[in-house]
Structure 1
Amino acid sequence: MNETNTRYDLTVALTYYEPYVSGLTHTARTVAEGMAARGWRVAVATTRHERSLPSRETIAGVDVYRAPVLGRLSRTPLSPGYPAMTARLARRSGVLHLNLPMADAAIVANLVRRTPIVSTLHIDLYLPPGLLNTVAMRASDVTSRSAIRRSAAVVAYSEDQAHDSKFWPLMRRREFQAIPAPCLDRRGGQPSYRKGGGLHVGFLGRIVEDKGIVYLVRAFRRITDPDARLLIAGNYLTVAGGDNLADVRAEIGEDRRIAVLGELRGREIDDFYASIDVFALPSVAESFGIVQAEAMMCGIPSVTTNLPGGRSPVTSTGFGKLVPPRDPEALESAILEMAATSRDWREEKALLARELFSSDRSLDAYEKTFASARTGMNPNFGI
């Protein structure tokens, strides 16, 4: 790859990329690789958040460029060369896909010159309480606002998420699109994590404070069935901003019915979904929850907190139950209610989930948005 000469149809900008896993990186990677599979020339501008990663490589037809990282501030990689590298790539591209929140978004947006920008607002940044995190969130808000002002179009996962966002007054002035995250059909796994015939509840995601896992553990421990199991899967070793595994383990105590599985990938995730009866997403901050949508596509109902955006997979399908944040008693009741639902009802709802959340449907909408921004059109989209 020669950064000085190669021209692209699309540059996707985000600070963490493969092999880092989060909802944001999943969406950005699926969009990048999906557009490349459709014949678009795609670059990703990201940071070298692990020193073992190469500065340039091609993954699934996507040219990935990584800027060096000097350190971190909270969850933010400090990479002085990142804005300039991203801008160079963007200026040789038909359109820039900017993934927010991003600390360098304002700088990048003002360096790209005439290249049109499509910004995806994945979430209003949430960090645990603390002076440093408060400063970081306020700085992030400033950069997001600046980037949105420079954007030809802005995407959020749902109308629900967008209308509750602090950035909605700006977003509504741009060409706005509600595009659900592209989700994978993970049916066909083996129940290799299942032990016995009791109720199996599952959580999958980063092991961090904002996922509310401690409240799920408290809820599960209210269930007295000795054959019930709670499977907690997700990354806690390389989480930006740090994990809260110690808090989760303290809540688990000596309850051997609860297993922490660690990070799962590929077929392991398929097997995880095949092993559970109810999915739980007890977040205290959430904008969509790809993991719950993928669970639904596999025929598994989701119990999730009643948060704008995070509740949209449940409200749009009826395939689950909403509970207040930080409420173990409500979580327990909802889990048991969903566990008692019929197979026919689950199959009916799974069909709807696969229709609404498929990656092809999401990619169709993104492709229209990118094409419109590139040509300066003002389409009336909808999915």
Structure 2
Amino acid sequence: MRVLWLVKGLGPGGAEQLLLLAAGVVDRESFDYRVAYLRADKTHLVPELEAAGLTPERLGARTTRPGGWVADLAKAMGEVDVVHAHSPVLASTARLLARAIPRSRRPVVVTTEHNEWTSHRRPTRLLNAATAPLDTHHWAVSEQVRDTIWPSRRDGFEVLIHGIDPDVVRPREDARSTLRAELGAGDDDVVSLTVANLRRNKDYPTLLRAARIALDREPQLRFAAVGQGPLVDEVTDLHASLGLGERFRLLGFRRDVHDLMAAADVFTLASAHEGLPVAVMEAFASGLPVVATTVGGLPHQVEDGVHGLLVPPGDPKALADALTTLAGDADLRRRMGEAARERSTAYDIRRAVAEQERVYAVLSPRARR
């Protein structure tokens, strides 16, 4: 059975990471997978997908015509049984293109909503809402994401918690000592790690301002952030204006995130909008307590006071309070870290992949024939 995964880009974002994780556990005997993407500037995970046995195709790579990628997508769709879209713009396009393919060869279109509808631009929301009824099946990555879908379009959306591959979240044996030395952290320092691209929804201004407040209170705190994106200049300028210096390291894109998690003591997210971040699941598996905002799927996964501390979005002082509380209490960090690691057993990408493949098999034209 031939399946085409569609994603906007292959940068280091959450949806892309989920595809990479899924690629490592799919049923290769029953399914033939292809991956297509659009953004020429988002190719970070291409080598990893190739190593997993998939060769991603960039739509529009052979043409300079505006919208030329649509012809590539139409051709690719005519060669598969199932199209699974992970981006609202690509999903909307695929839904419409499917109607132009003769019914005898038409693939089914299924989609996954990874982000709250309120985080999309208005034209994207309108196009997504107008075409969503053309799906054969659709998922949302959390209850909170599903709840942001317009009520008139919400019926039929199934919540499917994705996850991680526990076998992958394993750092090098010397990762903690080596990476802490790189970060300039001593044995008594408390390292807060953030893994989030430099985009509006991740709210780096609140994170940086909270870090400034926390550092003034707690000299043993250190911060590190992994991520790249369109706001790099804005974030760098704010970092400089706040005088954070070497105590808050902006690391850019890194391939050794799991090693960095082993070097950290706390995982922090200041997001204004979220779906269900892969990075939080990986932090749980690494035994890190989580300080995060009460957005998206986070409150249903991070129990406040058990796996970490939750704060309102856009509140630097509340975020700083939570960080200094954990920085000053090693026993609390240990208890929450143990609870987080135990919670991580609920996240296994194999469950989500098995459910997706079950749906592919039931719905595809090949199965019907």
TM-score by length of 2: 0.82
CA distance in 2, matches of 1:52, 1:159: 30
Q: What fraction of aligned residue pairs are identical, expressed as a percent?
A: 22
Instruction: Give the deviation of 1:156 after TM superposition.
Output: 0.9
Q: How far did 1:214 drift?
A: 2.0
Separation in 1 of the partners of 2:254 and 2:202? 17
Equivalent in 241, 252, 259 of residue 249 of structure 2: 259
Indicate which of 11, 17, 24 corresponds to 1:26: 17
- Equivalent position of 1:10 in the other structure: 3
Relative to structure 1, is the Cα distance of residues 233 and 169 closer, same or farther in structure 2, using a 3 angstrom cutoff? Answer: same
Question: Is the CA contact 2:111–2:138 (under 8 Å) kept in the aligned structure 1?
Answer: yes
Pairwise CA distance, 1:36 = 5.6
One of 111, 123, 129 as aligned partner of 1:119: 111
- CA RMSD, 1 decimal: 3.2
What SS does the corresponding residue of 1:335 show, helix, strand or coil? helix
1:35-54 aligned within 5 A: 35=26, 37=28, 39-47=30-38, 49-50=40-41
Residues 78, 216 of structure 1: alpha-carbon distance in 2 compared, 3 angstrom cutoff: farther
State the Cα deviation string for residues 352-376 of structure 1 (Å, max 9, x = none). Answer: 21x2222222222222232233269
The 8 Å contact of residues 207 and 235 in structure 1, kept in 2 or not, is answered as yes
CA contact (8 A) 1:287 1:309 kept: yes
Q: Which residue of 1 aligns with 2:56?
A: 64
Cα deviation, residue 126, structure 1: 6.3
Specify the SS of the correspondent of 1:148.
helix
Distance between the aligned counterparts of 2:69 and 2:117, measured in 1?
20
Alignment pair present for 1:150 and 2:116: no
Q: Bigger CA drift: 241-250 or 207-216?
A: 241-250
Counterpart of 2:273 in 1: which secondary structure?
A: coil
Distance 1:316 1:375 in 2: 46
The alpha carbon displacement at 1:38 in A equals 5.8
Q: Which runs of 5+ in 2 are unaligned?
A: 100-105
Do 2:91 and 2:111's aligned partners in 1 also have CA atoms closer than 8 Å?
Answer: no
The count of aligned residue pairs is 343
5+ residue gaps, structure 1, are: 1-7, 72-76, 128-135, 378-383
Cα offset for 1:242? 6.7
2:103 aligns with: none
- Structure 2 partner of 1:370: 360
Higher relative contact order (CA 8 A, sep 6+): 2
Aligned to 2:340: 349
Give the aligned partner of residue 102 of structure 2. none
Q: Return the TM-score normalized by structure 1.
A: 0.79
Q: CA deviation at 1:264?
A: 0.9
CA contact (8 A) 2:9 2:42 kept: no
8 A Cα contact 1:214 1:251, kept in partner: no
Inter-CA distance 39–347: structure 2 relative to 1 (3 Å threshold): farther
Using the TM superposition, name which of 83-92 and 152-161 deviates more.
Answer: 83-92
SS at match of 2:246: coil
Distance 2:65 2:302 in 1: 37
In the alignment, the residues of structure 2 paired with residue 205 and residue 138 of structure 1 have an alpha-carbon distance, to the nearest angstrom, of: 23
The secondary structure found in structure 2 opposite 1:29 is helix
37-46 vs 309-318, which deviates more?
A: 309-318
Segment of structure 1 superposing worse, 245-254 or 328-337: 245-254
- The answer to whether the aligner puts 1:270 opposite 2:258 as a matched pair is yes
User: Which of residues 146, 150, 162 is equivalent to 1:162?
Assistant: 146
CA distance in 1, matches of 2:259, 2:284: 15
Contact residue 162 and residue 349 of structure 2 kept, 8 A: yes
Counterpart AA for 1:188? P
Tell me the CA shift for residue 118 of structure 1.
1.1
Contact 1:182 1:357 in 2 (8 A): yes
Q: Distance in 1 between matches of 2:37 and 2:343?
A: 35
Secondary structure of 1:182 counterpart: coil
Shift of 1:338: 3.8
1:312-323 to structure 2, matched below 5 A, reads 312-315=300-303, 318-323=306-311
Could you say if the C-alpha distance between residues 78 and 124 of structure 1 is closer, same or farther in structure 2, counting changes exceeding 3 Å?
A: farther
User: How far apart are residue 149 of structure 1 and its match?
Assistant: 1.0
Say whether 1:101 aligns with 2:88.
yes
Q: Displacement of 1:91 after TM fit?
A: 2.7
Would the alpha carbon gap of residues 154 and 41 (structure 1) be closer, same or farther in structure 2, given more than 3 Å must change? same
Matches of 2:77 and 2:220 in 1, distance apart? Answer: 55
